[in-house]
Amino acid sequence: MNANPTERPEHAQGGTYTVEGQEYVRDQRYITTRITADGSDGYPVEEGRYRLVAARACPWANRAIIVRRLLGLEDALSIGLAGPTHDERSWTFDLDPGGKDPVLGIERIQEAYFRRDPDYPRGITVPAIVDTHDGAVVTNDFAQMTLDLSTQWTAHQRPGAPRLLPDDPDQRAEMDAVMRRVFTEVNNGVYRCGFAGSQEAYDAAYVRLFDALDWLEERLADRRFLMGPAVTEADVRLFTTLVRFDAVYHGHFKCNRNKLTEMPVLWAYARDLFQLPGFGDTVDFAQIKEHYYVVHRDINPTGIMPAGPDLSGWTTPHGRESLGGDPWGGGTPPGPVRDGEQVDPDHTPLR
C-alpha cells in the first residue's frame, strides 16, 4: 500500500477516493443516520418533511430517483436536482432560477452538509436527504437509502407499488449476494478501470469488470430480470451503470472490450428496463455526458464531449417479453412523470 495515497474529491461517485498502490479505492464512509417509520434515529418518516437532493448525472443518485418514482413517493418526498457539473467544493443548483434550490434556499449542497457538521470532512455527495426543518443533511448513505424507501416509507407508497425487496429470506439472501457482486465488480468496477493509476491496476480491473458482465450475460439468458420474473432493487442498481456504459464508460473509462450493444443479452435486458416507466424517463444522457467529460479533467483534460454514440437503439424492441413474467410483480407501473420532473426530451431517445 502506498504510504502517501493520493486523495481526490469525487462528488458524483459517492465520496472521495484514494489511489493506493495505483488501485482505485472508494471511500465508503457515509452519514448513516436513517429515516425510519419509528423514528429510532431521531428522524421519523413524515410526509413533506424531507427533500431528496440528487443529480441526473450521477449513477448512485439515479438509483434513488428511480426507486422514488417506482414507489410513488413524489408527494411524500420532494426532490431537488443539482446540475451535471460541480467544482471541488460541491454540486450546485445551477438548473434552478437564481441558482438556488427553491425549497432549501441554498446554492450548493455543501451548505446542507455544513449545517449537519460545520467541519464535515468527507465527500459532499449526492444523493442526500435533507431535513427541511433545519436544512441539514440527514443521510447520504445511498445503498441504505433506497432500501429504506421500500421498507420504512410504506405508508406513503402509491397503491400498486412494486415490491422491490423479496419477502422470502432465502431469496433476499440471494439478492443481497447478487447486489454485492454487481456493486463491487460492475458499479464500482467501471471506476476501478477509469481511475486506475497504473497499467497493472487497470488490467486487473478490466478483467474483473468483464468477468462480471459475462456472468450477468449468462444469468439473464433465461430469466427476464436479475431475480426472476419481476423487477427488484437489484435491477435498479445494475441499470444505472448499464445505461451509462456506451455513452461514457466504454470510452472515458476505457471499459472497451466491447460495447453494451455488443452483448446481446445484457443489451436486450437494459432496453427492457429503459422502456419501463420509472427507468428510461429518469435518464438524461446530455447531463450524464457533460458531467463525466467536463468534471473529470484528470482523465479528459480538454473537457471536450464526444458527439456519439447513437442512442436511438434504446427504444428499439428487445424481445424480453418472451421470457414471461410481470415487471411489476402483480402491481402496477408508475403513472406519468410529475410536472417539473420531466427529463428534457432533447436529452433522451424516449418520446
Is the pLDDT reported for residue 272 higher than 60? Answer: yes
Contacts 24+ apart (CB under 8 A), 101-109: 101/51, 101/53, 103/51, 103/78, 103/132, 104/51, 104/53, 104/80, 104/130, 104/132, 104/135, 105/135, 106/135, 109/53, 109/82, 109/137
181: cell is 457482486
Domains (range + CATH), the chain? 169-347 (1.20.1050.10)
Compute the average pLDDT of residues 2-29: 55
**Tens of pLDDT, residues 117-127:** 999 999 899 99
Q: Which positions make up the binding site for glutathione?
A: 91
Catalytic residue flag (residue 58)? yes
CB 278 within 8 A of CB 324: no
299 CB contacts (<8 Å, ≥6 apart)?
194, 195, 252, 253
193: annotated active-site residue: no
- Count of Cβ atoms closer than 10 Å to residue 319 Cβ: 10
Which residue do the cell numbers 447531463 mark?
287
Band (pLDDT 50/70/90 cuts) for residue 1 is: very low
Task: Give me the pLDDT at residue 110, please.
Answer: 97
What does the pLDDT look like over 342-351, one tens digit per residue?
A: 999 999 997 5
How large a percentage of the chain has pLDDT more than 70?
94
pLDDT higher than 70, residue 30: yes
Q: Is the bond into 309 cis (omega within 30 degrees of 0)?
A: yes
Average pLDDT on 103-107 reads 98
In the chain, alpha helices (H): 59-71, 110-116, 142-151, 169-181, 189-194, 199-219, 233-244, 250-252, 264-274, 285-290
Is omega for the bond preceding 166 within 30 degrees of 0, making it cis?
A: no
Q: Is the pLDDT of residue 7 over 60?
A: no
Mean pLDDT of 264-276: 98
Binding residues: 91
Q: Beta strand pairing status for 128-131 and 136-139?
A: antiparallel
This prediction has a pTM of: 0.94
CA pair distance 320, 234, nearest whole angstrom? 18
- Comparing CA positions, the residue from 227, 323, 328, 233 lying closest to residue 276 is 328
pLDDT for 3 beyond 70: no
pLDDT greater than 50 at residue 212: yes
Q: How far apart are CA 148 and CA 154, in angstroms?
A: 9
Averaged pLDDT score across all residues of the chain: 94
Mean pLDDT over residues 272-300, rounded? 97
Q: 123 versus 269: which is more confidently predicted?
A: 269
Please check the confidence at residue 14 and state whether its pLDDT lies above 80.
Answer: no
- 88 falls in which pLDDT band (50, 70, 90)? confident
Given 191, 202, 269, 292, the catalytic residue? 191
- pLDDT of 20: 54
Can you list the pairs that 298-305 forms with residues at least 24 positions away whose Cβ atoms lie under 8 Å? 298/8, 299/194, 299/195, 299/252, 299/253, 300/252
Q: What is the pLDDT of residues 179-192, one digit of tens each?
A: 999 999 999 999 99
**pLDDT class for 22, splitting at 50, 70, 90?**
confident
As a whole number, mean pLDDT of residues 192-218 equals: 98
Q: How far apart are CA 34 and CA 148, in angstroms?
A: 8
Q: What is the average per-residue pLDDT within 44-59?
A: 98
Residue pair 177/169 in contact by the 8 Å Cβ criterion = no
**From 16-20, 49-53, 138-142, 207-211, the region with the lowest mean pLDDT:** 16-20
pLDDT tens digit string along 222-254? 999 999 999 999 999 999 999 999 999 999 999
Per-residue pLDDT tens for 319-340?
999 999 999 999 999 999 999 9
CA distance 312 to 34: 40
Among the listed residues 24, 30, 58, 206, the single catalytic one is: 58
Terminal alpha carbon distance of the chain: 50
How many other C-beta atoms can be found within 10 angstroms of the C-beta atom of residue 218? 10
Sign of CA dihedral 156, 157, 158, 160: negative
